[in-house]
Amino acid sequence: MLQGYRTQRAASRKTREKPLAPATTLIVGADSTLLGEPSQEALYADAAGEYGAAIGRVARGYEMDPEKRRDLLQEIHFQLWRSFASFDARCSLRTWVYRVAHHVGASHVIRERRRFSTLLSLEEMETIPDADPTDVEADADRRRNLDRLERLIGQLRPLDRQVIISYLEDMDAASIAEITGLSPGSVAMRIHRIKNILARRFHGGR
């Protein structure tokens, strides 16, 4: 189930989704009072051009509501632009972009959780009764199935969500460890556990 979703995301990166152009992703960039040094602007332009579509997918992983997701996406781009003032190239551009995007996404989730709902730990998700299998049959449509998977991912706590979203972006354990600060072994175990929980919850215990 997750492998199919991961494959579809990879295909979408090559076809349907196009990177966001720097001129449209960061509205505040048009304000000359906020412009930074040329190197900062160049780094942001490279990041937005190369990883704009990926940033959009990360934002979707943290926020399902379209309007809130647009705000989150704008905030990610703004914070990414700001972050390049202190970028020292000790990690790759890709790692930096994902680190900033996930940090902003996690902060957004924490704010929303305080306002509306409680997120679940992996232990809590394991104790939830399985869904009625008939619900899965009703969700046979591929888009609805993907939406259901995204909702399940949306119930995870920020760190677990960060790990599985990065995994779905085809990152290996070492890359995810660099972004999250976890050890590669811990990342691998966490991915395995999350995949099993999501598969069981998705299929309703069949």
pLDDT tier at 25 (50, 70, 90 boundaries)? very low
pLDDT of 30 reads: 39
Listed by start position, the domains of the chain span 2-203
**125 vs 63, residue with greater confidence:** 63
The closest of 97, 115, 16, 18 to 58, measured between CA atoms, is 97
Where does 63-92 have alpha helices with state H? 66-83
Place of tokens 């290996």: 172
User: What is the DSSP secondary structure assignment for residue 92, as one 8-state letter?
Assistant: -
The closest of 153, 80, 162 to 120, measured between CA atoms, is 153
Three-class SS state of 97: helix
Average pLDDT of the segment spanning 2-25: 52
What are 125-165's pLDDT values in tens digits? 555 555 454 444 544 456 677 778 888 888 898 899 999 99
pTM over 0.75: no
